Amino acid sequence: MAIVKGRRPHEDQRGQARTRLARRAVVEAARALFLERGYAATTIDAISDRSDVPPATVYRLFSSKLGILKALGDLSIAGDDEAIPVQDRPHAVALFAEPDPRKQLAGFAGINVAINTRTEHVYRILVGAAASDPEAAALLAGYHRQRDQGQGQIARALARAGALRPGLRERDAADIIHALMSPDLYRLLATERGWAPERYERWLAATLVNQLHPPPPRETPGRPPLPQRRATQHPQPDSRPNREVLHTAIRRRNQPQHGHAERPVPAAARLDQT
């Protein structure tokens, strides 16, 4: 009976590593060629020559030029080649659970700016390819649907938490998020107007809060109350009669008045001198 030997684990790991390196080389070569020549003018053979990966391997890994374009889009959006949607990644999951709407919107603004920074050139490639290739147009439409779904989850989380402005519907909130987080708006301000990504992120976070979150309560106009001073404790005068004062008053009373004889002091008014 023949014994069939399987591949050893370390051999499988080496094979997976080679495949990953080949995929990355093809994607990076395609990125450069798409930007230099355009999507339509770039061929699989040119990508193979630039990446130093045989054409047969390129077809085995991606099946078509559109497959390479999709891999380039996925890598740019996620930032790596892990097959995990952005909304399911730990950072996004933690933001959906964030109880403070302001911190939540600031966190999603950071994610959005990071994605738009990575995909700025790829988005231009996709738009150009979609203008002449129906399959590329369908791919671009699919990315738009994914973006709508992810941003709709943000609006839904705010609505369920009661964190939307009074009178603002969830659907309208989703439209505002869609417009403000658009790659076209990022290109307008960051690329054409020269905004640094950090500045754009601060502006985006503040604008999202201003448009979606209820404004803080206004203070009642008027002068604020003055701080109350602590009452100074003054010693209270002793209400008991002072013996010396009484003696003085009695002596003055006993002194003779002009034209009058001295009147005797009643016994009751005398004070014991002892």
Q: In one letter, which amino acid is 89?
A: R
Neighbours of 159 (CB within 10 A): 17
Identical fold between 15-83 and 84-214 = yes
What is the per-residue pLDDT for 82? Answer: 80
**What gap in Å lies between CA 26 and CA 58, rounded to an integer?**
7
The angle at the Cα of 217, spanning 215 to 222, to the nearest 5 degrees, equals: 135
* CA 22 to chain CA mean position, Å: 37
The angle at the Cα of 32, spanning 124 to 130, to the nearest 5 degrees, equals: 30
Q: What CATH architecture applies to the domain 15-83?
A: Orthogonal Bundle (1.10)
Q: In one letter, which amino acid is 188?
A: L
Asked if residue 113 lies in contact with residue 204, where contact means CB atoms within 8 angstroms, the answer is yes
87 DSSP 8-state letter: G
pTM of the shown model? 0.71
DSSP string, 64-82: SHHHHHHHHHHHHHHSSS-
For tokens 């905004």, the residue is 195
Instruction: Tell me whether residue 255 is exposed, middle or buried, using C-beta atoms within 10 angstroms of its C-beta: 0 to 12, 13 to 18, 19 or more.
Output: exposed
Alpha helices in the chain (DSSP H): 9-37, 44-51, 55-62, 65-78, 90-96, 101-130, 134-160, 170-180, 183-186, 197-212, 243-254
The CATH class for the domain spanning 84-214 reads mainly alpha
**What gap in Å lies between CA 1 and CA 232, rounded to an integer?**
107
What is the per-residue pLDDT for 156? Answer: 96
N-terminal to C-terminal alpha carbon distance within the chain: 137
Give the tokens for residue 210: 């201003």
Domain boundaries, the chain: 15-83, 84-214
**How many residues are there in the chain?**
274
**What gap in Å lies between CA 239 and CA 200, rounded to an integer?**
76
Give the tokens for residue 95: 């933001």
What is the per-residue pLDDT for 239? Answer: 47
What is the per-residue pLDDT for 97? Answer: 93
Of 124, 119, 97, 120, give the one whose Cα is nearest residue 108: 97
Asked if residue 127 lies in contact with residue 143, where contact means CB atoms within 8 angstroms, the answer is no
Of 24, 13, 143, give the one whose Cα is nearest residue 81: 24
pLDDT in tens, the chain (274 residues): 555 555 566 667 777 888 899 999 999 999 999 999 999 999 999 999 999 999 999 999 999 999 999 999 999 998 887 878 888 889 999 999 999 999 999 999 999 999 999 999 999 999 999 999 999 999 999 999 999 999 999 999 999 999 999 999 999 999 999 999 999 999 999 999 999 999 999 999 999 999 999 987 776 555 555 555 554 455 555 545 555 544 555 565 555 555 444 455 454 444 444 4
What is the per-residue pLDDT for 231? Answer: 45
Give the tokens for residue 227: 């701080």
